Copies of this chain bind each other. A is one copy, B any other.
Amino acid sequence: MSETQIGILLVKLVIIIVLARLAGYLAEKLKQPAVLGELIAGVLLGPSLFNLVHETDPVLKFLSEIGVIILLFLVGLESNIYQLLKVGRASFIVACIGVIIPFLLGYFYFIYSGYSTFVALLVGGTLTATSVGITMRVLSELGKTNSEEGRIILGAAVIDDVIGLIVLAVIVGIIGSGHVSLFNVFKLSAYSIAFLVGSIYIGIKFVPRIHKIVHKLELEKTFVISAFIFALVLAVIANWIGLATIVGSFAAGLILERSEHKEHFEQKMKPVADLFVPIFFVMAGAVMDVRLLNMKILLPIILITLIAIIGKIVAGLGAFGTKANKFHVGLGMIPRGEVGLIFATYGLTYKIFTNEVYSVLVIVIMLTTFITPPLLVQFMKKGKAEAKKGIPNVS
């Protein structure tokens, strides 16, 4: 990498961070979450207009990955494992409904449009998993990460990431060999559950002891580093199992939330987050290429987006028996992201999807991402205003 290439990347980085901050500021002025501004900044910087930021750039891609890892680490730090477990049943049902309905709707829409079973299966899979980053960022901006809705969404998103992974393994198995490898399904499920339960259980049990060692080694001044490393290590393990990295860093946050130094971690990680998190959302926006939009694919885009939205709104009903607003939970589950893109990219790479189907799916994923922040602000703020009249919120 030459000095010139470094220079060019530095320029891109400056433009990304500055534009993200300005767009975020403008969004806030328009009573929208900052993240919406950052996504739009991404669209402008991407192939749609300035063609400056590409999803394929390894350095920017890696920085954005660090950003979302830190974001979910902080979300974990703001969450509480026991409160999450309290809504565990609701989260699980929401996750299951939110996988099944969009999958079936997507599958049958494509079957009835005359596509093959393979295409329909992969489309169904693409529509399953929620991208928790967007929703958590919005909830965090609204100070609602710890609300009952927030906790249910968070739990459901982690669970549906695991389910999405298993669904992918099943579909890849069917497409590859024509049959489902039960062993693979079992292995993945076991790994995922073992990772989540194991890391959190062991983590909470041993973190005080590790603290003592760190303290003894006079490494207190490296608290930030140890927190960051801890998040990265769990992210790496999650990635190695096949889960999203953010599931790992979220678990790390949950574990350190139990630590007596929680505030310290939060305070020190915030400046790092301020720098990196917007890069993730700009890169997420840059995936969208508005030039791909044309009249021919407009109807499928609208219909599949509706499927994606309705599937998750219905899933919100799974939160029965809790005080949470089911509609808000459903809204929070709408955004699709990484896992959906993995499905779509798999389809394109193995020539199961045409470029057109791929483009439609990527645009649907983007639309679910763009539509959620304003919807959440619209409805949850109203909810908050009502709540204020009644019992005051803890958040």
Number of interface residues of A (CB under 8 A): 42
- Docked-complex contact A14 and B240, CB < 8 angstroms: no
Stretch at the interface among A45-53, A94-102, A267-275: A267-275
CB contacts under 8 Å to B, within A165-208, are none
- Docked-complex contact B61 and A14, CB < 8 angstroms: no
Residues of B within 8 A of A229 (CB): 14, 17-18
Within the complex, what minimum Cβ distance (angstroms) separates A1 from chain B?
5
- Docked-complex contact B65 and A6, CB < 8 angstroms: yes
- Docked-complex contact B274 and A271, CB < 8 angstroms: no
| With A1-B61, A271-B271, A342-B3 as contacts: A14 and B222 at CB distance below 8 Å | no
0 or 1 for each of A291-326: is its CB under 8 Å from B? (1 = yes): 000000000000000000000000000000000000
Within the complex, what minimum Cβ distance (angstroms) separates A325 from chain B?
29
Give Cα A5 to B96, complex, Å: 30
CB contacts under 8 Å to B, within A202-245, are 217-219, 222, 224-225, 228-229, 232-233, 235-236, 239-240, 245
Within the complex, what minimum Cβ distance (angstroms) separates A211 from chain B?
16
CB of A13 within 8 Å of the partner chain: yes
Give Cα A142 to B228, complex, Å: 26
Give Cα A272 to B268, complex, Å: 9
CB contacts under 8 Å to B, within A74-107, are none
| With A1-B56, A14-B232, A271-B268 as contacts: A7 and B222 at CB distance below 8 Å | no
CB of A9 within 8 Å of the partner chain: yes
CB contacts under 8 Å to B, within A1-59, are 1, 3, 5-7, 9-11, 13-14, 17-18, 21, 25, 56, 58-59
List 28 A-B residue pairs with CB atoms under 8 Å apart, sorted by A's residue number.
A1-B56, A1-B61, A3-B342, A6-B61, A7-B236, A7-B239, A9-B62, A10-B65, A10-B232, A10-B236, A10-B245, A11-B236, A13-B232, A14-B232, A14-B233, A17-B232, A18-B229, A25-B219, A59-B59, A59-B62, A224-B271, A224-B274, A224-B275, A225-B274, A228-B275, A271-B271, A272-B272, A272-B275
Inter-chain pairs besides A3-B239, A10-B235, 5 sampled, C-beta below 8 Å? A7-B236, A25-B217, A58-B58, A222-B274, A224-B271
- Chain A: residues with CB nearer than 8 A to chain B? 1, 3, 5-7, 9-11, 13-14, 17-18, 21, 25, 56, 58-59, 61-62, 65, 217-219, 222, 224-225, 228-229, 232-233, 235-236, 239-240, 245, 268-269, 271-272, 274-275, 342
